[in-house]
Amino acid sequence: MTTNSIPNQSIGTDSAVQESPTPNSALNDNELTDEMQNDAEAADSDLLADDDSEDDETSIAGQAASVVVDVSHTVTEDESGLRIDKLASQVFTDFSRVQLQGWITDGSLLYNGTVQKPKVRVKAEDVLHLSTTLEQHSEDQPENIDINVVYEDDDVLVIDKPVGMVVHPGAGNQTGTLVNALLYHYPQQHHLPRAGLVHRIDKDTSGLLLIGKTKPAQMALMEQLKDKSVYRHYQCVVAGDAASLLRHRRIEAPIGRHRNQRTKMTVMTAGREAVTHLLDVTALNDNYCQLDVGLETGRTHQIRVHLSHITYPIVGDRVYGGRRQLRAGLSEAQRQAINEFPRQALHAYTLGFVHPTTGEDIEVTTPLPEDMQQLIAVLSDGYNDE
């Protein structure tokens, strides 16, 4: 595994990447639209399909347009002796080495007008000619926006999305999104649906997002979301006492779109199956807890809806929490911290998947953002003092 730096971006030095010691957890999150953009942004929900949609690729792709690539390179004396695939990756820098190897194999990238194996070594004055057609899936524009890369190789990218960043352009958010940032740092991904995104999280939820850097990798990872070999775990802060929450270790309640408020989801008999697991419950004080949450199914806003349904909403969730966030026994500082917390205290901190090329089990983790750490510190202040 490698983690490569990219110009104009921050790299998460506190994040950890490791191979999973055991097969991927049975608690998976194939939640393609788990935390979609709040309010008006949620109306864009069909752009990324739910996990059991029959047309994931169509849903994620949007409108596609053909882009013709036709470029040549003549080998110099200094480049003589290099493998075809290595030289191609040095001169055709808009594309990954994996993409170029595929084009060498299928004849899109010719060596002196003929199909050769990637390992063949070139000579001075030889000619590499790349001719292929890419599908450009949107009119989204690249923007120089920092992104925090926590894992990267030739096929896969994992980034830690900050609070406030919209994942992809939509109604009212045509610029400043993660897709715009990806197209700047990875221009070769313009031909991928949503610049390679495999799933998304809400603007006001922080945490890990999985991105395919090639079309085969993106499609393979989307298939993993369906068969539950991709998993994500979340940390959140909720209004509720530990004893009560421990009685809800498994929350099973169908979720559907609210009949009257179309940007909201709700528990309803006619909804789709939804199962949430509370993996760990840590008391911060008598009426607030920190939860480690795993998802067996992936439904829009599932964690937020389920926790609100059992009357223990996430702190800061203005859509599903309301006044129930305020419980008895709070100090003035604690009450102020809850009232002023500007977003739902929800963070996707662990992401696991099977590498689409090597077959390795990969797990990536990232720490809680500072705002949630401060909230936890205020709510737990003095609780364990003797």
311 SS3 class: coil
Beta strands 250-252 and 275-285, pairing class: antiparallel
Average pLDDT score over residue span 340-344: 94
Residues with catalytic function: 202
pLDDT for residue 262: 73
| Cα distances (Å, whole numbers) of residue 289 to 150, 218, 240, 279, 345 | 28, 36, 6, 13, 11
pTM above 0.75, yes or no: no
Greater model confidence, 320 or 68: 320
- Whole-angstrom distance, CA of residue 161 vs CA of residue 227: 25
| Cα distances (Å, whole numbers) of residue 349 to 328, 332, 363 | 30, 30, 11
Q: Is the pLDDT of residue 1 over 90?
A: no
Instruction: Quote the DSSP letter at residue 127.
Output: E
pLDDT for residue 186: 92
- Whole-angstrom distance, CA of residue 204 vs CA of residue 315: 12
Beta strands 346-354 and 206-212, pairing class: parallel
Cβ neighbors of 115 (< 8 A, separation 6 or more) are: 104, 105, 107
Query: Confidence class of residue 188 from pLDDT cuts 50, 70 and 90?
Result: confident
pLDDT for residue 190: 85
- Whole-angstrom distance, CA of residue 97 vs CA of residue 347: 33
Cβ neighbors of 58 (< 8 A, separation 6 or more) are: none
Cβ atoms of 297 and 265 within 8 Å: the answer is no
pLDDT for residue 261: 83
To 5 degrees, how large is the angle CA 282–CA 289–CA 336? 140
Q: Is the pLDDT of residue 52 over 80?
A: no
Question: For 115-174, how does the pLDDT look when each residue is reduced to its tens digit (9 = 90+)?
Answer: 999 999 999 999 999 998 776 555 778 889 999 999 999 999 999 999 999 887 765 566
Average pLDDT score over residue span 183-187: 91
- Whole-angstrom distance, CA of residue 299 vs CA of residue 386: 43
pLDDT for residue 10: 52
Sort 38 into a burial class: Cβ within 10 Å, 0-12 / 13-18 / 19+. buried
Question: For 286-326, how does the pLDDT look when each residue is reduced to its tens digit (9 = 90+)?
Answer: 999 999 999 888 788 999 999 999 999 999 999 998 778 88
To 5 degrees, how large is the angle CA 253–CA 256–CA 258? 120
Greater model confidence, 287 or 33: 287
Q: Is the pLDDT of residue 211 over 70?
A: yes
Q: Which of 8-12, 47-51, 65-69 has the highest mean pLDDT?
A: 65-69
